Amino acid sequence: MSRGLDSAVHLVQQFLSCSVQSGGTSVDATAGRGNDTLFMAGLAGPDGRVFSFDIQEDALQSTRLLLEDAGMADRVTLVKAGHEDMEHYVSGPVDAVIFNLGYLPGGEHSFITRPDTTVRALQSALRLLRPGGRVALVIYTGHPGGMEEYEAVEKMSTGLDNALFSVIKIVVLNRAAIAPVVIVVEKAGS
Ligand SMILES: C[S@@+](CC[C@H](N)C(=O)[O-])C[C@H]1O[C@@H](n2cnc3c(N)ncnc32)[C@H](O)[C@@H]1O
């Protein structure tokens, strides 16, 4: 994985490493192949907890194997459910929530994240967040439905009360227009 400015995943990890505390709780809203869950579990440490959501068993199985190989499976709760229902499983407060949107690499493209459920999940994530905590999203616009999802997330994020949340957006200026976009939301307080 590139560790430069051209890697949206790396950028998001930089932003979240400041907010995930050892022993804290965090959420991976889109487990996929488990790379983000593994990263969050490393930050949370042996006394921390990561709740990792996906609607596909294939994704959860990949994530489980990755965690077992790294000896971190015991600090992660894998949840086969849509992230829009995360408040049924996580009581909060949480340090951080990561969304890596789109479809499972090498998997079934019909199980894609969608604007309405992503926005509902983002609203839940913001309610669960502790003061000073962060939500980070990697958003892809090049696939069918991706631009609509990006526009829905951007509209919701732009409308957040700036006394309660700070929101930034990162775009790569010298790459194709379909390069992923990063949005990070921080809850006020510390
Ligand atoms: C781009 S992948 C995630 C990549 C992953 N974070 C990684 O490190 O490999 C997006 C994932 O979101 C999942 N997904 C789609 N809709 C979802 C939903 N409503 N709730 C939770 N996961 C969902 C897909 O099944 C897919 O595995």
| Atom 19 of ligand 1: nearest residue by CA position | 82
Q: What is the pTM of this model?
A: 0.96
Structural domain contains residue 55: yes
The helix/strand/coil state of 86 is helix
Task: Evaluate: CB of 13 within 6 angstroms of ligand 1.
Answer: no
| Residues 189 and 132 sit within 8 Å (Cβ to Cβ) | yes
What integer pLDDT is reported at residue 1 of this predicted model?
64
Structural domain contains residue 109: yes
> Which atom belonging to ligand 1 lies closest to the Cα atom of 117?
19
The CA 137 to ligand 1 mean position distance, Å, reads: 12
Structural domain contains residue 2: no
Structural domain contains residue 95: yes
Phi, psi of 43 (to 5 degrees): -70, -40
Q: Label residue 92 left, alpha or beta by phi (over 0 means left) and psi (-120 to 50 means alpha).
A: left
Task: Evaluate: CB of 180 within 6 angstroms of ligand 1.
Answer: no
Structural domain contains residue 133: yes
Task: Evaluate: CB of 77 within 6 angstroms of ligand 1.
Answer: no
CA–CA gap between residue 169 and residue 73 (Å, rounded): 32
Total domains present in the chain: 1
What integer pLDDT is reported at residue 51 of this predicted model?
98
Domain membership of residue 158 as a residue range? 8-187
- CATH number, domain containing residue 92: 3.40.50.150
CA–CA gap between residue 51 and residue 91 (Å, rounded): 11
Structural domain contains residue 3: no
The CA 31 to ligand 1 mean position distance, Å, reads: 5
What integer pLDDT is reported at residue 2 of this predicted model?
73
Structural domain contains residue 153: yes
Task: Evaluate: CB of 17 within 6 angstroms of ligand 1.
Answer: no
Contacts of 135 (CB under 8 A, 6+ apart): 96, 97, 98, 99, 122, 125, 126, 129, 184, 185
The CA 71 to ligand 1 mean position distance, Å, reads: 22
In angstroms, the first-to-last Cα distance of the chain is 32
Task: Evaluate: CB of 117 within 6 angstroms of ligand 1.
Answer: yes
The helix/strand/coil state of 107 is coil
Q: Is the dihedral of CA 140, 146, 37, 16 positive or negative?
A: positive
Query: For each of the chain's 190 residues, which pLDDT tens digit applies?
Result: 677 887 899 999 999 999 999 999 999 999 999 999 999 999 999 999 999 999 999 999 999 999 999 999 999 999 999 999 999 999 989 999 999 999 988 877 788 999 999 999 999 999 999 999 999 999 999 899 999 999 999 999 999 999 999 999 999 888 877 789 999 999 999 7
Contacts of 6 (CB under 8 A, 6+ apart): 172, 175
The CA 56 to ligand 1 mean position distance, Å, reads: 8
| Atom 27 of ligand 1: nearest residue by CA position | 32
For the beta carbon of residue 83, count every other beta carbon within 10 angstroms. 27
What integer pLDDT is reported at residue 4 of this predicted model?
80
